[in-house]
A and B are shown apart, each in its own frame.
Chain A
Amino acid sequence: MLLIRCPWCGVRDEVEFGYGGAAHVAYPADPDALTDAEWAEYLFFRDNPKGPFAERWVHSAGCRRWFNTVRDTVTHEFLEAL
């Protein structure tokens, strides 16, 4: 059960949060200009590193704000914002 620091509400229990997967995967500015492969890359392909991973969380049961953080996927330590 992770302890997660919401930038707005402080440190809270994981049950208050929703997980949003990898961070910094921007919606393409012009999807129509992308090839099928490029669009598939955006839709389906994500890094799955062993170690630091930039990811998104949303404080669903609190302020309902999204935020980014970096978590070590081996130790579950938050390397940013905690």
Chain B
Amino acid sequence: MRLPTGGRIDRSTPVRFTVDGVTRTGYPGDTLASALLGAGVRQVGPSVYLGRSRGIVAAGVEEPNALVRVGDEAMAPATTVELVDGLVAETLSGRGRLAEPDRGRYDKQYAHCDVLIVGGGPAGLAAAATAGRSGARVIIADEQPELGGSLLSTPDATVPELPDGIRVLTRATVFGYYDHNYLTIAQRRPGGGRLWHVRAKHVVLATGAHERPMVFADNDRPGIMLAGAVRTYLNRYAVRPGRRVVVCTTNDSAYATALDLLGAGAEVLVADTRAQPPAVAAEVRGLGGEVRAGAVVVGADGDPEVTAAQLSDGTTVHCDLIAVSGGWNPAVHLHSQAGGTLRYDERRAAFVPEASRQANVSAGSAAGEVDPADPQWTIPSPAGTLHTHFVDLQRDATVADVLRATGAGLRSAEHVKRYTTIGTAHDQGKTAGVNTLGVIAEALGVTPSPTTFRPPYTPVSFALLAGRDRGDLHDPARVTPVHAWHVERGARFEDVGQWKRPWYYPRAGEDMTAAVLRECRAAREGVAMMDASTLGKIEIVGPDAPEFLNRMYTNAFAKLPVGSARYGMLCKADGMVFDDGVVLRLAEDRYLATTTTGNAAAVLDWFEEWLQTEWPDLRVYCTSVTEQWSTIAVVGPLSRKVIAAVADVELRFMTFVDTTLRTGVPARIARISFSGELAYEVNVSGWDARATWEALYAAGEPHGITPYGTETMHVLRAEKGFPIIGQDTDGTVTPIDLGMDWIVSKRKDFVGKRSLRRPDTARPDREQLVGLLPVDKDALLPEGAQLVADRVPLTPPVPMLGHVTSSYRSAALGRTFALALLKGGRDLLGQVVHAPLGDRVIAATVTEPVFYDPEGARRDG
């Protein structure tokens, strides 16, 4: 019921809000919860598992029951939702439903400060005033719309002004405390939010305390609320949640609630568990209230809402509200997240900060300055049952559930938590945690010990964490200078690392299979071209560059003549293949190494690590030139004619020349083949790439030049048995496993060489790269398919021989084929293996991995 006067609400402009289809009015300054209570509504959504009626319990983030969905906010306690005109909410039963899509606007902001103060209550305000006057850079963050904390719930209290120059963040919840005083803050803003990342020299944790419910029979009835919350509703929102009230307390704090209730015209009976009530009890009696010492509520009557409280003295007191205070838990979440330790304070029956690990200090209630309490972990009921003694309202977990866990032998609170799910709901056990630990300790006859607090303090939406890093902004897309041409020609693209690479170029009516077969035929029989600009390119320069490459690559580069190119392979120190690519020698002291598209940065890092940490004496510099050069591959028996039309060059296989095209564009043309065909790579500056691409295309049109994408490139190289590092290898494959003994130098050391004669790397039954020809020439093995030996019964467990790494349809072979890693594969040549695929089995013959032109007759056209 709304009181006629008082509260921090603006009564001049009532606002309308709708919950579950019913429209009511409240005031600016209300939360959704206070507006509901003001309108006489205490019940919210029923409990998640048991379907029991539930009501509003708290007035802040610790609220376990009143979950609502509001706009894009999938799940929020109504006690934290600010009332605005036209607000529409629906009550939830412990489960939210994400908005699809979240239309909110979320941003990030980074900040530094000398002092970050968490919490704008009396302790935080005092800290801010002191720090601000010292000239320090101060940020104070508070989760409420205005500073004040508990002052906002105290009659006639004024919130002190802060000195100028302090950055005040309201509606801002500090939810994470990470290493080196790095804190994250979720700030609610109209239509979205802002995620703050703050690095602070010092942190003051003035986070206050959360009140504990009391655990008696049917303690979940609507109309049972925390005493401090009742006081907040009375004083801050001018809402009286009940008229006949039983206040049940273990400590002095609830007397303030009793007095304020009496002042608001309620009838009050205080049941104080302690034999000696405090002096303030006389004040309560003086105002017409009753105080019973050594009394406690043992059960609640009423269904669904409370109609009476059963007291331990055997009486039943009719009431419409039971306000409980089981004691206060300092909000030590951030202190604990920061690595600080906690100790159990016997007098307060609560965990308080013991020692900080980082530069932070707790102040006020958060430091343990809360009223001493008389712990009542489980209040026996006359009936002797415990299955309606709720400890976690959000998880519908009771004392009976906890005792089932300890009865099953669980002693650790962490285990009990996992067994019962207590503390794992939306509220993360803010009201349930310490009561549960008390019940466990009582059951085991030990002192309560704390669990670890982890971020976030309150739930944070993924939309906030993502900010603008969504959709197109999630990851940069890298495109080559020729990209627009590919788009114009209808290319389908695939992502390779961050690159968008043409995958294939379908013609009208073509599917991918038809397009790729056509592109492959063009490369094998005529001429085709591909944008290879995404290959990583690193210039390696310096007098010791030859020696450096000799140490890094499995094969030798010191004697590679200037003007020549050589395929090279890199291993990690464990002997496993890391990357490969062609290396050009540009000058005595200058090489250009190409890498796979996805590994360009990793290879550069690898080179620099060795140069800096192992061989600082080598005079070598590495520079990425991936973006500086665009590369166009021209492939096929007719490629020589196309090149001749644009440049005047004669090149032997694996040589290159720096020249000028007939268009006047400087270019580096190399004869390198990744398909086995006569092929060239034309390298030009990115600025000239599109024009050069078009010049080559025009020169090739009389010969039917065909642009092709990565899929055709993969088929062509697989027909030649060239592995793709990262597809046919997975970090457990040596050059020997690939059958590439020829690339491993016997004469020099290189990174990884010693590993190749480790017993494990020399095992004969290692997985080795082989070819597979399906017995049915039209059957396409799925990549990744597991392979089993011939005549092995397919009843589990079935011994696995390996798996398919690449699989395609080949225009040149007129059939399907595949590459695979097979245990002892070199010894299985000619044998049949099987790929069991659930509903069918594909049989395939093991072959050499080179399917096409094994003699290499085609590379000169």
Q: Which of B738-783 contact A (CB under 8 A)?
A: 749, 753-755, 758-759
Q: Which of A40, A42, A75 contacts B339 (CB 8 A)?
A: A75
Cβ-closest 3 pairs across A and B: A31-B754, A1-B182, A3-B180
CA distance A64 to B180 in the complex (A): 23
Q: Which of B669-699 contact A (CB under 8 A)?
A: none
Contact across chains for A36 and B758 when beta carbons are under 8 A apart: yes
Contact across chains for A66 and B612 when beta carbons are under 8 A apart: yes
Q: Which of B180, B573, B612, B749 contacts A2 (CB 8 A)?
A: B180
Question: Would you call B605 an interface residue if the criterion is a C-beta within 8 Å of the partner chain's C-beta atoms?
Answer: yes
CA distance A58 to B758 in the complex (A): 30
A7-50 near B? 1/0 per residue, CB < 8 Å: 00000010000101000001110011010100110110000000
The 16 sampled A-B contact pairs (Cβ below 8 Å) are A1-B180, A1-B182, A2-B179, A2-B180, A20-B609, A20-B613, A26-B614, A27-B614, A31-B749, A31-B753, A31-B754, A36-B758, A42-B573, A43-B573, A43-B755, A58-B609
Contact across chains for A76 and B753 when beta carbons are under 8 A apart: no
CA distance A34 to B757 in the complex (A): 11
Q: Which residue of A lies closest to B751 (CB)?
A: A27
Given contacts A1-B182, A20-B609, A65-B612, whether A34 and B758 have CB atoms under 8 Å apart is no
Contact across chains for A34 and B754 when beta carbons are under 8 A apart: yes
Q: Which residues of B contact A26 (CB under 8 A)?
A: 614
A19 to chain B: closest CB distance in Å?
12
Q: Which of A31, A43, A66, A75 contacts B609 (CB 8 A)?
A: A66
Q: Which residues of B contact A60 (CB under 8 A)?
A: 605
Given contacts A20-B609, A66-B613, A76-B180, whether A3 and B199 have CB atoms under 8 Å apart is yes
Q: Which residue of B lies closest to A31 (CB)?
A: B754
CA distance A32 to B758 in the complex (A): 11
Q: Which of B341-365 contact A (CB under 8 A)?
A: 357
CA distance A2 to B614 in the complex (A): 26
Which of B179, B357, B574 has the most chain A CB within a 10 Å cutoff? B179
B290 to chain A: closest CB distance in Å?
54
A28 to chain B: closest CB distance in Å?
8
Question: Would you call B608 an interface residue if the criterion is a C-beta within 8 Å of the partner chain's C-beta atoms?
Answer: yes
Contact across chains for A56 and B613 when beta carbons are under 8 A apart: yes
A56-82 near B? 1/0 per residue, CB < 8 Å: 101010001110000000011000000
B197 to chain A: closest CB distance in Å?
8
Question: Would you call B178 an interface residue if the criterion is a C-beta within 8 Å of the partner chain's C-beta atoms?
Answer: yes
Q: Which residues of A contact B753 (CB under 8 A)?
A: 31
Contact across chains for B608 and A64 when beta carbons are under 8 A apart: yes
CA distance A32 to B182 in the complex (A): 47
CA distance A72 to B574 in the complex (A): 29
Given contacts A58-B609, A75-B339, whether A32 and B179 have CB atoms under 8 Å apart is no
Contact across chains for B609 and A1 when beta carbons are under 8 A apart: no
Q: Which residues of A contact B357 (CB under 8 A)?
A: 75
Contact across chains for A39 and B754 when beta carbons are under 8 A apart: yes
Q: Which residues of A contact B754 (CB under 8 A)?
A: 28, 31-32, 34, 39
Q: Which residues of A contact B614 (CB under 8 A)?
A: 26-27
B765 to chain A: closest CB distance in Å?
18
B439 to chain A: closest CB distance in Å?
32
**What is the interface of chain A, defined by CB distance below 8 A to chain B?**
1-3, 13, 18, 20, 26-28, 31-32, 34, 36, 39-40, 42-43, 56, 58, 60, 64-66, 75-76
B295 to chain A: closest CB distance in Å?
49
Q: Which residues of A contact B178 (CB under 8 A)?
A: 1
Which of B179, B199, B754 has the most chain A CB within a 10 Å cutoff? B754
Contact across chains for B179 and A18 when beta carbons are under 8 A apart: no
CA distance A56 to B609 in the complex (A): 11
**What is the interface of chain B, defined by CB distance below 8 A to chain A?**
178-182, 199, 339, 357, 573-574, 605, 608-609, 612-614, 749, 753-755, 758-759
Contact across chains for A76 and B179 when beta carbons are under 8 A apart: yes
CA distance A32 to B755 in the complex (A): 10
CA distance A20 to B608 in the complex (A): 13
A53 to chain B: closest CB distance in Å?
15
A61 to chain B: closest CB distance in Å?
11
Q: Which residues of B contact A31 (CB under 8 A)?
A: 749, 753-754
Which of A18, A36, A42, A56 has the most chain B CB within a 10 Å cutoff? A36
Q: Which residues of A contact B749 (CB under 8 A)?
A: 31-32
CA distance A40 to B749 in the complex (A): 17
Contact across chains for A18 and B182 when beta carbons are under 8 A apart: no
Q: Which residue of A lies closest to B750 (CB)?
A: A31
Q: Which of A39, A66, A75, A76 contacts B755 (CB 8 A)?
A: A39
CA distance A34 to B753 in the complex (A): 12
Contact across chains for A43 and B574 when beta carbons are under 8 A apart: yes
CA distance A46 to B610 in the complex (A): 19
Q: Which residue of A lies closest to B180 (CB)?
A: A3
- Given contacts A27-B573, A39-B758, A64-B608, could you give 9 more A-B pairs where the C-beta distance is less than 8 Å? A1-B182, A3-B181, A20-B613, A28-B754, A31-B754, A36-B759, A40-B758, A43-B574, A75-B357
Which of B180, B605, B759 has the most chain A CB within a 10 Å cutoff? B180
Q: Which residues of B contact A13 (CB under 8 A)?
A: 199
A75 to chain B: closest CB distance in Å?
6
Q: Which residues of A contact B612 (CB under 8 A)?
A: 65-66
Contact across chains for A1 and B179 when beta carbons are under 8 A apart: yes
CA distance A1 to B358 in the complex (A): 13
CA distance A20 to B339 in the complex (A): 25
Q: Which residue of A lies closest to B573 (CB)?
A: A43
Q: Which residues of A contact B758 (CB under 8 A)?
A: 36, 39-40
A62 to chain B: closest CB distance in Å?
13
Q: Which residue of B lies closest to A36 (CB)?
A: B758
Q: Which residue of B lies closest to A56 (CB)?
A: B613
CA distance A40 to B760 in the complex (A): 11
Q: Which residues of B contact A32 (CB under 8 A)?
A: 749, 754
Q: Which residue of A lies closest to B608 (CB)?
A: A64
CA distance A39 to B755 in the complex (A): 8
Q: Which residues of B contact A28 (CB under 8 A)?
A: 754
CA distance A13 to B179 in the complex (A): 11
Which of A26, A34, A58 has the most chain B CB within a 10 Å cutoff? A58
CA distance A75 to B181 in the complex (A): 12
CA distance A28 to B180 in the complex (A): 36
A64 to chain B: closest CB distance in Å?
6
A67 to chain B: closest CB distance in Å?
9
B611 to chain A: closest CB distance in Å?
9
Q: Which residues of A contact B613 (CB under 8 A)?
A: 20, 56, 66
CA distance A39 to B760 in the complex (A): 13
Q: Which residues of A contact B181 (CB under 8 A)?
A: 3
Q: Which residues of B contact A39 (CB under 8 A)?
A: 754-755, 758
Q: Which residues of A contact B339 (CB under 8 A)?
A: 75
CA distance A32 to B750 in the complex (A): 11
Given contacts A32-B749, A40-B758, A66-B612, whether A18 and B605 have CB atoms under 8 Å apart is yes
CA distance A31 to B759 in the complex (A): 15
CA distance A36 to B760 in the complex (A): 10
A66 to chain B: closest CB distance in Å?
5
B425 to chain A: closest CB distance in Å?
28
CA distance A31 to B574 in the complex (A): 12
B539 to chain A: closest CB distance in Å?
15
CA distance A13 to B357 in the complex (A): 20
Q: Which residue of B lies closest to A58 (CB)?
A: B609
A56 to chain B: closest CB distance in Å?
7
B752 to chain A: closest CB distance in Å?
9
Q: Which residue of B lies closest to A68 (CB)?
A: B613
B657 to chain A: closest CB distance in Å?
33
CA distance A66 to B612 in the complex (A): 7
CA distance A39 to B182 in the complex (A): 41
B606 to chain A: closest CB distance in Å?
11
CA distance A39 to B759 in the complex (A): 11
Q: Which residues of B contact A76 (CB under 8 A)?
A: 179-180
CA distance A58 to B612 in the complex (A): 10
CA distance A42 to B572 in the complex (A): 13
Q: Which residue of A lies closest to B622 (CB)?
A: A64
Q: Which residue of A lies closest to B182 (CB)?
A: A1
B718 to chain A: closest CB distance in Å?
32
Which of A20, A40, A43 has the most chain B CB within a 10 Å cutoff? A43
